[in-house]
Amino acid sequence: MSFDSQPNKAMVLVYINCALATLNARQHIRDAGGEVSHGRIDANVVSAFRATNGTESGSEDIPIDSQLYPLEEAKTQKHHLSTTVNGADSKRMPKFGGVATRVFYHPQSVVSPLLTLRVAIGRHNTPNPNPIMALMNKPPSRFLLVGLAFVLFTSLLVWYSNITSWNDINLSRFRTSTDPSYSGSSTTSESRCVVRLQQNLRSIPQKRQRVAIASTFGYHFDVYLALAWTMQRVMSRPPNPAAHDLGGNGTVAVYTPEPKFHFGFDKVIDALGLYKGEIKPSENLFDDLDKEVDGHKIDLVVLGTCEVDLRGGSESWHQRLLDVWDLRPDDEKFMVVCIIHDVRDEHWQSHITEWARRGAIRFLPISQHVANSFKSVLLTRADNTRNPTIRLAGYEYLKVDTHVPILNLSASDQLWTGSSTPKLPLDVDIDLEGIDHSGLGALDSDGVGPASTHITNKMGRKLSRAVIQGSFSTERREYETVFRELIESLTDDPSVWGYLPLKEGEEKFVVDPKEKDPFYLYLLGSGGLNIPKALEDMVIVKKDLDYAEFYHLMQTMDICVPAFNPENGYYRFQASSTMVMALQCNVPILATRRVRSAYAYADDDRVMVTRPAVISEVAALRALRIGNMTSFWDHYTQMAAIGDAVGGDIMKVLPSHGINVYDDLGHMMEAGWRRADAGFESFREGLWKENERVVEKFLRDL
């Protein structure tokens, strides 16, 4: 049964009172000289009880559970007792085990002045529908103890059900599937949990009504405008009284350092309806802070890049915002929400102390691993033994949430290529090298043409298009390692990749004209990078693309290769855009357990292709492309074997974890590299719900 309804909670309280009253009655009877034997009361007590209540002598013996009053009190306190079953002084109660009950006040009861329970003489002929209460009405005391244990356990469940667990809930920790091929439309446990948490939150009045999202930094607009999109959805939600949903209300304003966004992001805003409202210059924030609109001043300030926005001296936003906060009355204070991108940037973090002392700051990283690292920083500061100002600021109580900036690209036919005739902005001129253009018709006058079905349809062809996305920094990504391993693999067997062997005097591998699906590695990002001569036909570099161009090209990829430097901060201190870009473009990510653990929101088999760390990214791409891991397994057994394989059983000379390696490789191959679009859609929907829950929290200061 459900313990959320008030009637059920009331019944539990009745059970508790019954048990307490029964124990109390036993003690009273003994104190008054009565005997309690095998669940019955001696004749004197029965007579007194009957005399007190005017019952007939023919009534049956009284079960011990129904007698609450000792012999002497029954004789002397008659005027306190109800004398008729349906009299004016009695209050009818539910039947327990078929016994009619009444509640009345006993001034000298141990549990006084609580209401206690007494059972009237005479059982009804109504059959007992409740086996548990039937057991409780049986004479032996052990049944009473069992019933009491049940009541206590039930009470704990009721208490636990009332705990609102919206703080520090990370829904992505709930594994959605153990089957990597799973691509269902929803994950039941996760969606139910999100719905329950949102219902709890939405029944609480919203505290923050006017939100300002602002930044002095010219980038990261794709991050804070994704937050604006979430906030406007939440704040425009109509009330639903049936679900105890008070609805959303309020406004969102955006303040940026430049009127236009880099790389054509304005087109993305318009195509997706990402933000509906005027985008104002950053400096206008301080003009608007104390202006009232519909009776409200700005009461929530979100800083898009706190590492920049709160950095500086007396003229910095930190001091200016602090001055405004201090001048406001106590009932008009605002809260600052800091979006965190890189925990290692400490130049601004000294300013946290003054905001922490005022209880007016909270943090919003864009991935769980960044949140965890930043929590560690806060706890370290909280433990400061040398500076009492820092120690007393309350760093350990500062709240850290996560909002993942994934957009809904499929909502726009200008950005999404999944339809048969995807539309792109008119000024898009992109050379999609490596795409089979056969059968493409001429572009229409508006620049629209049919997509290559060979590329968009990934079924029935080999893995042929991998992408590494991000800045071309060898400190951040393992470009050089990937290049070296590709050259080694091509030298060993170029046909696996769809290329011809090098001829004498040649330095560059060229595509085999007979190969329908040659392999290409795309590098999408910015900066400079030297591509080895041998890979000039295989590696295709596209840099500084507009967002629309980037999204269009990204959606044609088969798989995304993170290529993170294992010593770089992408696993601990900083969130890579690679994950978000791939996930919103329906591109599965080739990831190790370490990647999945760091980016816990994406720890989902619907969107990940998991490789064991013993196999490199290039070796995994080769195995997935040909559907065979024999080459790597032979290499692994040769390198990992200890001694000679007696009798040909290689497993006997492998380390004990060799069987785990074999199983994980088999798991990767069985699942393959393809992931269904429906799986990506349901994954993103769950993530958007979690983003909404986070916004619901800080609009209520929770």
**Chain centre distance of CA 404:** 10
Could you give all domains of the chain from N- to C-terminal order, each with its CATH number?
196-408+693-700 (3.40.50), 413-425+458-679 (3.40.50.2000)
Q: What is the largest CA-CA distance in the chain?
A: 120
Q: Is a pLDDT exceeding 70 seen at residue 634?
A: yes
Give the closest residue to 544 by CA, choosing from 490, 470, 597, 603: 470
Distances (CA, A) of 592 to 518, 613, 615: 26, 6, 10
At residue 331, the pLDDT reads 93
Q: Do 231 and 243 touch, CB atoms closer than 8 A?
A: no
Bridge-based pairing state of the strands 589-591 and 279-281:
unpaired
pLDDT band with cut points at 50, 70 and 90 for residue 190: low
Confidence of residue 422 (pLDDT cuts 50, 70, 90): very low
Highest mean pLDDT among 166-175, 515-524, 640-649: 515-524
Establish how many alpha carbons lie within 13 A of residue 582's alpha carbon, considering only the half-sphere containing its beta carbon.
28
CA dist., res. 384 & res. 419, Å (int): 57
More confident residue, 497 or 651: 497
Across 505-533, average pLDDT: 94
Query: What DSSP element (H or E) covers 35?
Result: none
90: β partners = none
Residue-wise pLDDT for 270-290, tens only, equals: 999 999 889 999 999 999 998
- pLDDT exceeds cutoff 60 at 120: no
Which range has the worst mean pLDDT, 284-293, 392-401, 638-647?
A: 638-647
Query: Directed axis angle between helix 630-640 and helix 617-626, to 10°?
Result: 140
Q: Enter the tokens of residue 566.
A: 């294992």
**How much is the mean pLDDT over the chain?**
76
pLDDT at 37 over 50: no
So what's the pLDDT on residue 263?
A: 92
State yes or no: pLDDT of 635 exceeds 70: yes
- Which range among 124-133, 224-233, 245-254, 313-322 shows the weakest confidence by mean pLDDT? 124-133
Span 440-464, mean pLDDT? 48
**Does the structure show a pLDDT above 90 at 495?**
yes
Instruction: Considering only residues 61 and 292, tell me which one the structure prediction assigns the higher pLDDT.
Output: 292
Beta-bridge partner residues of 522 = 467, 540
Question: CA-to-CA distance for 459 and 632, rounded, in angstroms?
Answer: 25
Q: Summarize the confidence of residues 423-427 as an average pLDDT.
A: 33
Mention every residue, 6+ apart, whose C-beta is less than 8 A from residue 274: 225, 226, 228, 229, 268, 407
b/e sequence 586-597, b meaning 16+ C-beta within 10 Å:
bbbbbbbeebbe
Rounded Cα distance, 651 and 645, in Å: 8
Give the up-direction half-sphere exposure of residue 84: CA atoms within 13 A in the CB hemisphere: 4
pLDDT over threshold 50, residue 74: no
CA gap 54, 49 in Å, rounded: 8
Could you tell me the sign of the dihedral formed by the alpha carbons of 552, 553, 555, 560, in that order?
Answer: negative
pLDDT band for 196, please (50, 70, 90 cuts): low
**How open is the CA angle 61-64-67, to the nearest 5 degrees?**
90
Nearest to 590 by CA among 619, 566, 625, 620: 620
pLDDT value for 246: 80
549 phi/psi in degrees, rounded to 5: -60, -45
pLDDT band at residue 647 using 50, 70 and 90 as cut-offs = low
User: Does residue 648 have a pLDDT over 60?
Assistant: no
- Percent of the chain scoring above 70 in pLDDT: 65
Tokens of 117: 């329970």
pLDDT greater than 60 at residue 160: no
Q: How confident is the model at residue 158 (pLDDT cuts 50, 70, 90)?
A: low
Higher pLDDT, 143 or 658: 658
Omega cis (within 30) before 113 = yes
Predicted pLDDT of residue 142: 62
pLDDT at residue 673 tops 90:
yes
Q: State whether the Cα torsion 559-565-571-573 is positive or negative.
A: negative
- Burial of 394 per CB tally in 10 Å (0-12, 13-18, 19+): middle
Q: Check pLDDT > 80 for residue 613.
A: yes
pLDDT at 169: 39
Mean pLDDT check: name the lowest of 72-76, 315-319, 325-329: 72-76
pLDDT at residue 659, rounded to an integer? 86
pLDDT of residue 308: 93
DSSP for 636-687, written as a single string: HHHHH--S--GGG-GGGGS-TTHHHHHHHHHHHHHH-S---HHHHHHHHHHH
Distance (Å, whole) CA 50 – CA 546 = 92
Given a cut of 70, whether residue 608 has pLDDT beyond it is yes
> Do 228 and 275 contact (CB within 8 A), yes or no?
yes
Contact between 147 and 135 (Cβ < 8 Å): yes
pLDDT reading at 198 higher than 80: no
Residue 294 scores a pLDDT above 70: yes
DSSP-derived 3-state class of residue 609: strand
Which whole number is the average pLDDT over 388-396? 93
Q: Which one is predicted more confidently, 480 or 294?
A: 480
Q: Which pLDDT value is given to residue 478?
A: 95
Residue 336 confidence (pLDDT) above 80: yes
In this prediction, residue 465 has a pLDDT band, given cuts at 50, 70 and 90, of very high
What pLDDT score does 633 carry? Answer: 84
Instruction: Write down the pLDDT at residue 202.
Output: 80
CA 401 to CA 89: how far, in whole Å? 57
* DSSP reduced 3-state for 363: strand
Mean pLDDT within 667-681: 95
pTM of the predicted model, to two decimals?
A: 0.68
The CA distance from 389 to 643, in Å, is 62
